Amino acid sequence: MRWYRLLYVQVLIAVAVGITLGHFMPGVGEKLKPLGDGFVKLVKMVIAPIVFCTVVHGIASMNDLKRLGRVGLRTLLYFEVVSTIALAVGLVVVNLFEPGVGFQAPEVAQHVEQAKQHAEKAAGTQAGSLLLGMIPDSFVGAFAGGELLQVLLVSLLSAFALGRMGDRGQAILRGIDRAQEFFFSILGLVVKLAPIGAFGAMAFTVGKYGIQALENLLGLMVCFYLTAFVFVVGVLGLIARVAGFSILKYLYHIRDELILTLGTSSSETALPGLMAKSRALGCHPSTVGLVVPTGYSFNLDGTNIYLCMAAIFLAQATNTPMTWGQQLGLLFVAMLTSKGASGVTGSGFVTLAATLQAVPSIPPESVAYLIGIDRFMSECRALTNMIGNGVATVVVSRWEGEVTAEEVRRNLGEHPA
């Protein structure tokens, strides 16, 4: 295949053109926002049915329900350990480099009302609301709302119901298998529009905020991007090595999904592709269907890093002293609030507002300092979240003995060790 026909090459070119247009013609760039939003909506349109079909078919095809429970427990344990490491890494780096010390606050009066709205929205992310939010108003309501946790709950109930039906449920199971192929075919058509979506999203971002808007907050952005890079290459790289494969080879394997996430600033657009790439590595469909969608709600490594770094940055910027005990308490709160980030518009920002409630001494309006760069930060959050969930899927599959290290390396195109 010629280079210009490759999706990730087309998206990269579109991103570069979008940045250039947004910089030199900001008025035009702002008007292109519907292109990016429209593409993201098109992808989200098929995410719920794809997750439903994948989870139901994978689990209902399993004969060993004890294995399913074991996979679920191992997955949640892995998520909590790695998420805590991500929070700790962010905490250490922001204290080491202190990007908020001496910060000259920009004019944020126009953002204070927006910040208050985020704080009010964050109040709805408490544990009780989160648990109730997992239950849809109706069976089809889960698909209409597009909430992944609701879709996952409906999928699990459907899978168990089909399992109890025995042979009578096989016809339905075959139909779900064909439906899965149908929705992946729709996704294949939609993804061809990725360059247009990435072009519109980047043109709008640079056109609205401008590259110069990054100057005052460049220190935090550099720290965050470097920390995410170190986490992916160092922490996830070590986990991948223990599991028997190279993190760099894995990143190349999911390059289309990485570029798609970068261009749209949303990891959800890459969810179906990530599930397909995971199965291509040899991971069992039931494991893929359980780990990937669950990870998008419970394994947000990039969001965790951002939460700790942004909260401590605001404490430094507002001269709010925090002891190590208070910072560890903040880490614990962030571990809980991050679980409510999935499916919320501006989730990273809303979750930050919820996390800051644990530190009332930090002026609540200070969260407005970060509004101007949140779009740029969200791209790195989304990339790190997606990579973390992809690695988790392979690791859990290796734990379960579904695929050997040699098979993973062969499917990644690595030479045998």
Residue 417 lies inside a defined structural domain of this protein: no
In-domain check, residue 81: yes
- Dihedral of CA atoms 212, 213, 218, 220 in degrees, nearest 10, equals -170
Geometric angle at alpha carbon 88, from 261 and 95, rounded to 5°: 100
CB neighbour list of residue 134: distance below 8 Å, 6 or more residues apart = 147, 149, 150, 153
Domain assignment present for residue 75? The answer is yes
* CATH number, residue 266: 1.10.3860.10
| Domain assignment present for 250 | yes
Q: What is the pLDDT along the chain (417 residues), one digit of tens a residue?
A: 676 677 767 877 888 888 889 888 888 888 888 888 888 788 778 878 887 887 787 777 665 566 667 887 888 889 889 988 998 898 898 888 888 777 655 444 444 444 455 555 555 555 556 567 678 888 888 888 767 678 878 888 888 888 788 888 888 988 988 998 898 888 788 878 888 888 887 788 778 766 654 555 677 888 899 999 999 999 999 999 999 999 999 999 999 899 888 877 777 778 888 988 999 999 988 888 888 888 877 788 888 898 888 888 888 888 888 888 888 877 877 776 666 454 443 456 666 766 776 666 777 667 766 765 666 787 888 899 999 999 999 999 999 888 999 999 999 986 544
Q: Give me the pLDDT at residue 115, please.
A: 47
Domain membership flag for residue 136: yes
> For residue 110, is it within any domain?
yes
Residue 195 lies in a domain: yes
Q: Check residue 148 and give its pLDDT.
A: 66
DSSP collapsed to 3 states, the chain: CCHHHCHHHHHHHHHHHHHHHHHHCHHHHHHCHHHHHHHHHHHHHHHHHHHHHHHHHHHHCCCCHHHHHHHHHHHHHHHHHHHHHHHHHHHHHHHHHCCCCCCCCCCCHHHHHHHHHHHHHHHHHCHHHHHHHCCCCCCCHHHHHCCHHHHHHHHHHHHHHHHHHHHHHHHHHHHHHHHHHHHHHHHHHHHCCHHHHHHHHHHHHHHHHCHHHHCCCHHHHHHHHHHHHHHHHHHHHHHHHHHCCCHHHHHHHCHHHHHHHHHHCCHHHHHHHHHHHHHHCCCCHHHHHHHHHHHHHHCCHHHHHHHHHHHHHHHHHCCCCCCHHHHHHHHHHHHHHHHHCCCCCCHHHHHHHHHHCCCCCCCHHHHHHHHHHHHHHHHHHHHHHHHHHHHHHHHHHHHCCCCCHHHHHHHHCCCCC
Question: Residue 109 is which amino acid?
Answer: A
What's the pLDDT at 359? 65
Q: Is the pTM of this model over 0.75?
A: no
Alpha carbons 117 and 63: distance in angstroms, whole number = 48
Q: How many domains does the chain have?
A: 1
Q: Phi, psi (5° rounding) for residue 363?
A: -55, 125
Domain that holds residue 290: 3-412
Residue 147: inside a domain: yes
